[in-house]
Amino acid sequence: MPVFAGMIGRNPALEAPRWVPEMQSVVQNCYATAARKAARRLTALYDGILAPAGLRSTQFAILSQLAVGGPASINELARVLVLDRSGLGHSLRPLQRDGLITLGQDPSDRRSVTVTLTDQGKQKFEAAYGLWQSAQDQVVAVLGATEAAELRDRLNTVAEDDRLS
């Protein structure tokens, strides 16, 4: 006979606290949680698709920023990509190790380090571009062109709004 079979009534110790339904609402309505969940989903998609090129989505973003914007200081690159310096440094190390970027002293400010895309980095970026485009196409296929563009534009607006810092 189970231990609880003879018990009459309910056991308050086995019930969820009264605040649990309220907390479920908080989790469901939290902007940061929703953004992180969506970011993890999209990051996994892009990382998987970019894997044959040997790049993660964050590394592709760095290469693409350097390909479009040219050399940049670590501080500027971190600002544009909305990364903290330590997170950026973590992503730069393998790119430097693999010869895709170089780090050098800024001639106009000896305290600043400049990140430059190498010729090998340009080739890697160009090789990965088609993979990245297929990830983009997959997002559009799932969300629809209009919704995907609206989502991207809204996320860029949030990312660029310094009032949320």
Q: Is the pLDDT of residue 81 over 50?
A: yes
Q: Is the pLDDT of residue 58 over 90?
A: yes
Q: What pLDDT score was predicted for residue 46?
A: 98
Looking at per-residue confidence, does 141 or 4 come out higher? Answer: 141
Q: What is the mean pLDDT of the chain?
A: 89
SS3 sequence of the chain: CCHHHHCCCCCHHHCCCCCHHHHHHHHHHCHHHHHHHHHHHHHHHHHHHHHHHCCCHHHHHHHHHHHHHCCEEHHHHHHHHCCCHHHHHHHHHHHHHCCCEEEEEECCEEEEEEEEECHHHHHHHHHHHHHHHHHHHHHHHHHCHHHHHHHHHHHHHHHHCHHHC
What are the pLDDT digits (tens) for 98-155? 999 999 987 777 788 999 999 999 999 999 999 999 999 999 999 999 999 999 999 9
Looking at per-residue confidence, does 9 or 3 come out higher? Answer: 9
Instruction: Burial-class residue 89 by CB neighbours within 10 Å (0-12, 13-18, 19+).
Output: middle
Looking at per-residue confidence, does 57 or 26 come out higher? Answer: 57
Q: What pLDDT score was predicted for residue 10?
A: 66
Q: What pLDDT score was predicted for residue 1?
A: 47
Q: What pLDDT score was predicted for residue 101?
A: 98
> 125 with 116: CB under 8 angstroms?
no
Q: Cα Rg for the chain, rounded, in angstroms?
A: 23
CA dihedral 152, 153, 155, 156 (to 10 degrees): 110
Q: Is the pLDDT of residue 24 over 90?
A: no
What are the pLDDT digits (tens) for 147-161? 999 999 999 999 999
Answer positive or negative: Cα dihedral of 85, 90, 91, 97: positive
